[in-house]
Chains A and B, each alone.
Chain A
């Protein structure tokens, strides 16, 4: 007599989401992973640059109060005005003990400054930085000094901040513009697409350096933020074109049709149904874009069109090396930094591409 067993209720394990899958595939690629670790490391260096090298204490107790003068490296107003009033003139160690014998301070790992020459007797056992072209790498100045005696290692560490900031902020602006323009053009088609496509073509046709140089030349006193805005407003065309293509492809998909038939408003269809499905391919050009933004920033600084002089930048160091070619350390160290950073972002982009591309997935 056949017995029918009661239907067993099985709960299927939840299938891994898209990002989990991508991360798993990305992690398998050793080179991309190494590059990712390097990029994360650079981010940490940028974030903690005042703690790594500087002449301002991280924390100090002065006349009974706690201060954080090293924050002044991020933004000059964050350095408490009391040090200006008490005429420290940027030299902390001697002034702290002289003006308040009770004071104490925690110092950065290396006592050097990215903006000025460190003089003799500022710090115990530290001689004055060599100036002119005699400042080759030594145990006091690991990467040497510039003509004016400013430490190159300090400038490189603080220049990391500039590079990372330029990469992320300018590509953030470019991504927002590119995604909005591309998705509007792709979703609505017809005359919207026509107009926006012409706009994309317009920006693409002007050689990038031409547009950037002209835009920067308009500004009387360009700051690093202007530069990022200019890069962001000129580098979005590739993202927009890709986004437009994805939207045109997905617009006709069944699930979008179903959502529309259910009466979901257009902006919701665009954001929840189409945009989220087209995000993966856009990540790749964004990563490559960060690399090219860092490259452009150092290139512009190199041409003397970049961040204003006191701002430490790898490109500006290279520019200094160009007029003093026998000071090889001004070329080698910033050159290597730019090279490795660009390489790392390219490798991460490549890894992302292979992790998210369904065609390559099936082949493996």
Chain B
């Protein structure tokens, strides 16, 4: 097991090198210059002197060819220095750190809600398999699963922020907090945050909910055909007990490994959803940094996402061996 993990980690770091090299080349080839993009955003009318532009380019390491700049970036990143953001005037690590919280607020609450609802739903649809009510629930879940999140988000915005404007059910259109957030009392702050996060959390949750409950149901369907379930039934165990203790416990294996694969999504958030709701999270940061040609921030985020993906895959494989004694790695 240990040698397996070490081997995977070594392979993973190789993969990481390739990814960062590839992406660095890619983003340096994008047309547009961060210095010029920045100048335009600060003051469109003002003309900078050529030597000022040159000085700024040197400051950002833009005068080197990209492969040299890559190794410079790599050497610094290996020491834990991701450089400083071109647009936010702060260290990349700090900028990312500020955005982690809002994204986690969305993803963790959505993960909890979807797991809490998906398990009973999955069990319910297994128990009532084939009955009309189960068919209705399954069709509904399938439709939710196919409903694109950005369509749902826009629909909810039209409904709750435009059509229900002025009623008790009106919800804020976007943003994480109101403008007067700092003046509110603690309870008011909490309710303000709650109202702002209702729509984004709903959009994050429903797809995952449909996916997990279908996943649980599919696994349960496979398990309840096994011989040991028939044995349990033959010796007279009640159907509730069979479902919970004999069948469900065995479907936990794939469910647990899923958590590993969820890890990157937890931190990366969603580019489109955060953009729609102007939620100051990781996805929005990424979108902005690509648009502004903010190379250090983009690279820092790509590095973070790739590391998380690799760790998540490794974690899934390890968890698989931990929960299922039949699986061993050499």
Contact = CB atoms under 8 A, between A and B. Distances in A.
Q: Which among B148, B155, B290 has the greatest number of chain A C-beta atoms within 10 A? A: B148
Interface stretch (A51-59, A140-148, A257-265, A319-327): A319-327
A210 B18 CA distance: 16
B287 A303 contact: yes
Contact of B290 (A31, A214, A346): A214
A198 B158 contact: no
Interface in B1-38: 11, 14-15, 18-19, 22-23, 26-27, 29-31
A218 B30 contact: yes
Contact of A322 (B26, B276, B286, B287): B276
Contacts of A291: 146
Contacts of A210: 23, 286, 301-302, 305
Contact of A218 (B18, B22, B26): B26
A303 B14 CA distance: 33
B271 A209 contact: yes
Interface stretch (A11-19, A275-283, A294-302): A294-302
Contact of B148 (A204, A218, A298, A322): A298
B309 interface: yes
Contacts of A339: 146-148, 151
B268 interface: yes
B26 A325 contact: no
B29 A302 contact: no
DSSP class of A's interface residues: helix, strand, loop or mixed?
Answer: helix
Contact of A342 (B23, B146, B162, B163): B146
Contacts of A128: none
Interface string B291-330: 0000000000110011001100000000000000000000
Interface of B: 11, 14-15, 18-19, 22-23, 26-27, 29-31, 139, 142-143, 145-148, 150-151, 154-155, 157-158, 161-163, 173, 225, 264, 268, 271-272, 275-276, 286-287, 290, 301-302, 305-306, 309-310
A303 B305 contact: no
DSSP class of B's interface residues: helix, strand, loop or mixed?
Answer: helix
Nearest to A359: B222
Contacts, number: 107
Contacts of B31: 217-218, 220
Contacts of B309: 204-205, 207
Interface string A180-217: 00000000000000000010011011110110011101
Interface of A: 31, 198, 201-202, 204-207, 209-210, 213-215, 217-218, 220, 291, 295, 298-299, 302-303, 318, 321-322, 325-326, 328, 331-332, 335, 338-339, 342-343, 346-347, 363
A44 B287 CA distance: 36
Nearest to B146: A343
